[in-house]
């Protein structure tokens, strides 16, 4: 399978592994517990041999999805969770200790920002930097720095982190680079190519892709040598050191914290993953067409989209993402437009949070997902009051452009 392309690999991975009765999908396993005929075998699985015991630690269905994600990312192994936030929680709370230091991008998902505040309350030091410039990341280094966290494309401002330089610097300095690849997905950007040690994908977004199942995944790219990481528990310093980090995330994060992906959700997400490349290509093409059209309209003040030559990281995006730029953009409307009146006139765009659905979704960000953090932090993050986030879907392009323009013309 290694020689096949991205989509062929995803489509055929279940069938090529041992699937009961030749089924082309991995069956949906609802069992909570897994029984053994041999007591020695039972003990062996508890002692680390691969197998299933209790579904909180995974089922054959979640494992089949994990294998797909591993192949997509070109990594060594993946652990799945009930949501993307659960996956991030597992990474931060199992690999960092009180007194450790984390360098994080300023430009991150609002709930991740809130999660890092909890981590700070528990005694982990966090410095926020402008991660579009590796020099800012380097300048934040302390003797107790353990980890660097960025997203690939940030939401809603679409800043693109200086990923490749950050990844290389982290590997040279024994730091764990955690990349949230949700907005790009491994189809546009493999975390491994950027030098990330761990890649988090929210499966609820493009990979599942239809807004009908939540999930998250952490993939180890195999680049990081976990024998140099000080916080690995003695119990997990066994076997090849390349697996220690993910073992700790699985044991202390998935098993002990318990935010497990259900077999039912894993099955739905795996079906979505089959068409990721087709959906992403169409959504990215739609997004570029919309960004170009919006930029021409005199009542749209600003368009933030990496596909526009005016975007500060346009060149970098061309280099990293192979000529497509994701399907998230934000626009700032003319100051005299009431954003709520404008939104109420839209007929095709769906007024909803979430992103990565097949349908185009729109949200006034300062009033919703960034409301809780207050005006000052919003200003630091570049979130304007009249900013709309648009998650572009796969509808017919003219329908989206016409809908947006009819609402603007009516305001």
Residue 85 near ligand PLP by CB under 6 A: yes
Look up residue 82 and give its two tokens: 């009930």
Site for ligand PLP in 262-321 (CB under 6 A): none
Nearer to ligand PLP, 85 or 308 (CB): 85
Element (H, E) at 127: strand 125-129
Stretch that binds ligand PLP, among 42-50, 142-150, 199-207, 366-374 (CB under 6 A): 199-207
Look up residue 317 and give its two tokens: 């995006």
Nearer to ligand PLP, 26 or 205 (CB): 205
Residue 202 near ligand PLP by CB under 6 A: yes
Identify whether the C-beta of residue 218 lies closer than 8 Å to the C-beta of residue 27: no
Minimum Å gap between C-beta 355 and ligand PLP is: 6
Residue 84 near ligand PLP by CB under 6 A: yes
Q: Is 34 helix (H, G, I), strand (E, B) or coil?
A: coil
Look up residue 242 and give its two tokens: 């390349």
Q: Is 180 helix (H, G, I), strand (E, B) or coil?
A: strand
Nearer to ligand PLP, 4 or 368 (CB): 368
Q: If you count them, how many residues does the chain have?
A: 411
| Residue choice 175, 214, 249, 276 for contact with ligand PLP (CB under 6 A) | 214
Nearer to ligand PLP, 67 or 155 (CB): 155
| Residue choice 52, 92, 107, 109 for contact with ligand PLP (CB under 6 A) | 109
The DSSP code for 370 is T
Minimum Å gap between C-beta 154 and ligand PLP is: 8
Residue 182 near ligand PLP by CB under 6 A: yes
| Residue choice 63, 70, 204, 386 for contact with ligand PLP (CB under 6 A) | 204
Residue 185 near ligand PLP by CB under 6 A: no
Stretch that binds ligand PLP, among 5-13, 180-188, 271-279, 284-292 (CB under 6 A): 180-188
| Residue choice 66, 100, 136, 151 for contact with ligand PLP (CB under 6 A) | 151
Stretch that binds ligand PLP, among 36-44, 77-85, 98-106, 380-388 (CB under 6 A): 77-85
Helices 263-274 and 276-296 sit at what angle, rounded to 10 degrees?
Answer: 70
Letters for 353-372 (x = contact with ligand PLP by CB under 6 A, - = none) are --x-----------------
Total residues at interface with ligand PLP (CB under 6 A)? 16
Residue 100 near ligand PLP by CB under 6 A: no
Stretch that binds ligand PLP, among 15-23, 83-91, 126-134, 191-199 (CB under 6 A): 83-91
Nearer to ligand PLP, 118 or 406 (CB): 118
Stretch that binds ligand PLP, among 25-33, 128-136, 177-185, 263-271 (CB under 6 A): 177-185
Q: How far is CA 403 from the centre of its chain?
A: 29
Please give the Cα distance from 23 to 41 (Å, whole number): 27
Cis peptide before 134 (omega within 30 of 0): no
Residue 149 near ligand PLP by CB under 6 A: no
Nearer to ligand PLP, 69 or 300 (CB): 69
Please give the Cα distance from 372 to 99 (Å, whole number): 27
Residue 92 near ligand PLP by CB under 6 A: no
| Residue choice 155, 185, 190, 317 for contact with ligand PLP (CB under 6 A) | 155
Minimum Å gap between C-beta 161 and ligand PLP is: 12
Nearer to ligand PLP, 83 or 221 (CB): 83
Minimal CB distance residue for ligand PLP: 84
Identify whether the C-beta of residue 24 lies closer than 8 Å to the C-beta of residue 82: no
- 335: Cβ–Cβ under 8 A, 6 or more apart, which residues? 301, 386
Residue bearing tokens 């140099």: 228
- 277: Cβ–Cβ under 8 A, 6 or more apart, which residues? 6, 7, 187
- 309: Cβ–Cβ under 8 A, 6 or more apart, which residues? none
Please give the Cα distance from 297 to 387 (Å, whole number): 16
Identify whether the C-beta of residue 327 lies closer than 8 Å to the C-beta of residue 392: yes
Please choose, from the candidates 262, 267, 302, 258, the residue with its C-alpha nearest in 3D space to the C-alpha of residue 68.
267
Q: What DSSP string runs through 130-169?
A: -TTSHHHHHHT--TTEEEEEEESB-TTT--B--HHHHHHH
Look up residue 209 and give its two tokens: 């892709």
Residues that bind ligand PLP in the complex, under the rule CB under 6 A: 83-85, 109, 112, 151, 155, 180, 182-183, 202, 204-205, 214, 216, 355
């Amino acid at each position: 399978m290694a020689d096949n392309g991205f989509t062929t690999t995803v489509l055929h991975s279940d069938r090529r592994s041992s699937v009961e009765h030749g089924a082309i999908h991995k069956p949906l396993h609802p069992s909570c517990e897994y029984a053994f005929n041999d007591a020695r075998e039972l003990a062996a699985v508890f002692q680390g041999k691969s197998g299933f015991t209790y579904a909180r630690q995974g089922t054959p269905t979640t494992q089949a999805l994990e294998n797909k994600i591993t192949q997509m990312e070109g990594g060594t192994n993946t652990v799945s969770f009930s949501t993307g936030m659960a996956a991030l929680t597992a990474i931060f709370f199992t690999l960092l200790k009180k007194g450790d230091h984390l360098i994080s991008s300023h430009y991150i998902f609002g709930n991740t920002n809130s999660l890092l505040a909890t981590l700070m309350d528990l005694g982990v030091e966090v410095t926020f930097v402008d991660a579009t410039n590796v020099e800012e990341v380097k300048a934040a280094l302390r003797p107790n720095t353990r980890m660097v966290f960025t997203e690939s494309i940030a939401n809603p401002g679409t800043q693109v982190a200086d990923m490749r330089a950050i990844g290389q610097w982290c590997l040279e300095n024994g730091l764990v680079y955690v990349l949230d690849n949700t907005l790009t997905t491994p189809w546009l950007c493999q975390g491994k190519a950027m030098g990330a040690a761990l890649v988090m994908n929210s499966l609820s977004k493009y990979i599942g892709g239809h807004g009908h199942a939540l999930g998250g995944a952490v993939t180890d790219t195999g680049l990081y040598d976990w024998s140099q990481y000080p916080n690995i528990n003695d119990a997990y310093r066994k076997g090849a050191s390349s697996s220690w980090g993910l073992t700790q995330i699985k044991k202390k994060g998935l098993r002990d914290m318990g935010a497990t992906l259900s077999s039912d959700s894993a099955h739905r997400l795996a079906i979505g993953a089959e068409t990721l490349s087709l959906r992403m290509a169409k959504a990215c093409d739609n997004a570029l067409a919309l960004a170009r059209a919006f930029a021409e309209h005199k009542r749209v003040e600003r368009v933030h989209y990496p596909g526009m030559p005016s975007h500060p990281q346009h060149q970098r995006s061309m280099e990293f993402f192979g000529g497509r730029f994701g399907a998230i953009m934000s626009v700032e409307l003319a100051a005299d437009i009431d954003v709520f009146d404008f939104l109420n006139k839209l007929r095709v765009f769906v007024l909803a949070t979430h992103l990565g659905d097949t349908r185009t979704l729109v949200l006034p960000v300062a009033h919703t997902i960034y409301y809780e953090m207050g005006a000052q932090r919003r200003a630091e993050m570049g979130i304007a009051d009249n900013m709309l986030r648009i998650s572009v879907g796969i509808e017919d392009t003219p329908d989206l452009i016409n809908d947006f323009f009819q609402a603007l013309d009516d305001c």
